[in-house]
Amino acid sequence: MRSLSFIFLLVLLLSDSAYTQRWKPGDDIFRQLDEVLPTPNEYRTASGAPGHRYWQQKVDYDIRLDLDDQNQSIQASETITYHNQSPDSLNYLWLQLDQNRFKQDSHAKLTQTAPNLKSRPSYRLMEALLDQDFDGGHKIQAVKDAAGKPLPYVIQDTMMRIDLPKPLTSGERVQFSVEWRYNIVDVKKIGARGGYEFFKDDGNYIYEIAQWFPRMAAYTDYTGWQHKQFLGAGEFTLEFGDYKVAITVPDDHIVGATGVLQNPDKVLTATQRQRLQQAKGASKPVLVVTPEEAVANERNKPAGKKTWIFHAENVRDFAFASSRKFIWDAQEHDVEGNKVMAMSYYPKEGNPLWERYSTRSIIHTLNVYSRYSFRYPYPVAISVNGPVGGMEYPMICFNGPRPEKDGTYSDRTKYGLISVIIHEVGHNFFPMIVNSDERQWTWMDEGLNTFLQYLSEQEWEEKYPSRRGEPKEIVDYMTSQQQEPIMTQSDSVLQLGPNAYAKPATALNILRETILGRELFDFAFREYSRRWMFKRPIPADFFRTMEDASGVDLDWFWRAWFYTTDHVDISLESLDWYTIDTRNPDVEKTRLKQMREEEPVTLSMRRNQPLPKFVEQYPELLDFYNNFDKLNVTPKDREDYEKVLRGLQDQEKAILNSHSNFFVMKFKNIGGVPMPIILDITFTDGAKQQLRIPAEIWRRNRREVSKLLITPREIQSIVLDPNLETADADLNNNHWPPKPVKTRFQIFKEERQKNPMQIQQELEKVTQQ
């Protein structure tokens, strides 16, 4: 250091941007997360894995139900076997009665705020408002112990507590039964995750039945009983167990359900069974019920009833669909060695889209998701078309998009269908198998699932129009001010779509592409999925596993993206250029002369130049100073330089003559989220260089940093975030030399098709109508 102390750095170009620094609460973004995350224990380790004493409850169900197609209701009974695998004694059990959300006095209904009646309401809204008579909710008819003796119970909105005669100690199990009935919701009238749709053209119904039986609430090591009321947005979390469900429906109905059909001989025709056999090893979907047969069924009247029996192992819920309108296709697919029957059920109204895309979309989803997480473990995967726009259950999901009546469809409908099937089938992985708690943390399944949905879409076809995943798409939301952090409880999130789906999905995509790279990320993400399949992770388990398996401290990333509402906006503030003073007068004075010559001539100087000068008239007035140029090299200069050189080591002389350019780039973090600084640098000789600086450059100063680049070349231009990979919100401050970036509005305005007069003429026509 001592030998360098005499080196003078000459500032050739300097645009300093001094500004005052104020400490702000988020400035310690690199503070470790440990104080925020729960303390590791024997159930959940500091590495993010299940601990050596990890436990979860197990619940088995034996359910019988009768679907009444005349008045759209369900009469049912269930025997629940509850295995207390926790270390705790339980005095009571909590069950969820999700149908109670549709009671007229439910918390969900009572806490609805008034709609806007100042503008014209829709029929849909008016129908929902005027529907004061629908008798929704679970009617509990009996709760009995294994011996048939009534058990006391209390209903609290969407929850039911059953009081046990004696505490259920650790390791014990208890069996009890519940009988109930309920009226099925008309989904087209009341937005719901399950219910019926009536087709007035043929007088038939499609039933998509979900959240329909009293289900054991989750009991966990981190929250005890999960008894958050069902308000509509926070979906659910449940316990794994085995299900046997006997579904009695009109004998001309086709039923698709979670699990494997146990009595095909009783409910399917010989032809249908044979076609299902053909679907094994088929290279494309095989019709089990053809469109023609489905249309014939629509005109049928049932002769009686049939009972379809399904068995499902290690699932956390059970849903089914039933209708005489169903076309049914199937294709067995080998998912990494697991033979899965992919099946779709849809009415003729779904064609031609459904026969072309549904089952194929299921297969594509199973392939891609299995690659990124774990092999799909279940024997079937089903997609059903009905009134529900998109909702997931184990092995079965409901998807809404249909073509127009004339059989045509827009690209929006087509990609909407493929995307929603990928999304809902993808939910088998998160949260149906990696059992995160959606009533508490929507992002844990919706965010992770939307991320994998994006990867799957991009593997469906080139330039698939994914709505979420690309960093630039999240900028609008992240720069908005009225938002909550991702780590917010499900029902309290204002904008669930951007908050719990798009932002975490984008964050993971950035983590994969920009922060960790695909290799590290994919390994860590797979590790998380495998650690927690058939178990129940909390956010800390995800954060910790991703760090543990990638070997990268990501606390700053989780803090910025999941715990704050800051956005990304890094600006390239200035570029300063330094060279080394060689001390050689022949070099330095020549350079200074050149600079002097390049200085601009002012207007007055130029006009004064031709004026006759007084000293020209009287040359005797000229003296030493009239001819003296301090930039002329003198023998004394050269002598001094020689003296300097004599005092230097060879190494030091080499440094003086290295001809390096020192460029200092200054950056400001305007948005608050620290991100890697990615630079495309172009030099005057045409060479290009990409510089990727990890986000840790911000660790000592979150708001302003500088970076030195030493190069023999001269910089011509710099672009910050050239590949749009960081969700940088303002691209106007990403260039040197500064370059304004056109807004979407300005680009559109330049390229628009119609001129304002055409629009005005059309508008007049519309207004007259």
Partner 1 sequence: MSSNAPNWNRRDVMRALPLTASAWAFLCGSRAVAHKFYFSSTQVDYNPATASFEITIRLFADDLELVLARRADRKVEVDRTPDAEALTFAYLRDVLRLRGPDMREIPASWVGMETKVDTVYCYLEAPAPPSGLRNMALAFGLFTELQRGQVNLVSFRDPIHGRPRDLMFREGDRFKVVIFPEPEEAPSQNP
Which residue ranges make up the site for partner 1 (CB under 8 A)? 17, 19-20, 112-126, 188, 200, 388-390, 400-402, 410-413, 415-417, 420, 465, 467, 476-477, 479-482, 494-498, 569, 571, 668, 670, 703, 743-746, 748-749, 752-754, 756, 759-760, 762-763, 765-767, 769
Minimum separation from the CB atom of position 171 to partner 1 (A): 40
Cβ neighbours for 761, distance < 8 A, ≥ 6 positions apart: none
| Helices 503-510 and 442-460, axial angle in degrees (round to 10) | 60
Minimum separation from the CB atom of position 154 to partner 1 (A): 31
φ, ψ of residue 401 in degrees (nearest 5): -55, 140
Helix and strand tally (H, E) in the chain? 22, 31
Nearest to partner 1 of 447, 498 (CB atom): 498
d(CA 320, CA 256): 6
d(CA 373, CA 744): 37
Longest dimension (CA), the chain: 131
Minimum separation from the CB atom of position 497 to partner 1 (A): 4
- Tokens in use for 354? 């459904």
User: 3-state SS string over 578-595?
Assistant: EEECCCCHHHHHHHHHHH
Minimum separation from the CB atom of position 415 to partner 1 (A): 6
523 φ/ψ sector (left φ>0, alpha ψ -120 to 50, else beta): alpha
Minimum separation from the CB atom of position 190 to partner 1 (A): 12
What Rg value do the Cα atoms of the chain yield, rounded?
A: 35
Cβ neighbours for 457, distance < 8 A, ≥ 6 positions apart: 418, 419, 422, 464, 466, 469
Minimum separation from the CB atom of position 765 to partner 1 (A): 7
**What residue has token string 């330095």?**
588
Minimum separation from the CB atom of position 731 to partner 1 (A): 13
d(CA 348, CA 359): 15
232 φ/ψ sector (left φ>0, alpha ψ -120 to 50, else beta): left
Angle subtended at Cα 426 by Cα 422 and Cα 431, rounded to the nearest 5 degrees: 150
Nearest to partner 1 of 263, 746 (CB atom): 746
| 566 CB burial (10 A radius; 0-12, 13-18, 19+) | buried
Minimum separation from the CB atom of position 239 to partner 1 (A): 25
Nearest to partner 1 of 627, 753 (CB atom): 753
Nearest to partner 1 of 144, 467 (CB atom): 467
Nearest to partner 1 of 323, 370 (CB atom): 323
Nearest to partner 1 of 78, 208 (CB atom): 208
Minimum separation from the CB atom of position 19 to partner 1 (A): 3
Minimum separation from the CB atom of position 416 to partner 1 (A): 4
**Do 318 and 393 contact (CB within 8 A), yes or no?**
yes
Minimum separation from the CB atom of position 79 to partner 1 (A): 34
Minimum separation from the CB atom of position 11 to partner 1 (A): 22
Nearest to partner 1 of 623, 764 (CB atom): 764
- Tokens in use for 608? 């004064």
Cα dihedral 120, 124, 130, 134 in deg (nearest 10): -170
Nearest to partner 1 of 53, 124 (CB atom): 124
Nearest to partner 1 of 252, 728 (CB atom): 728
Nearest to partner 1 of 628, 745 (CB atom): 745
Q: Which residue from 77, 37, 19, 142 is spatially nearest to 548, judged by alpha carbons? A: 37
Q: Which residue from 227, 322, 257 is spatially nearest to 63, judged by alpha carbons? A: 257
Nearest to partner 1 of 482, 649 (CB atom): 482
d(CA 356, CA 682): 49
Nearest to partner 1 of 378, 415 (CB atom): 415
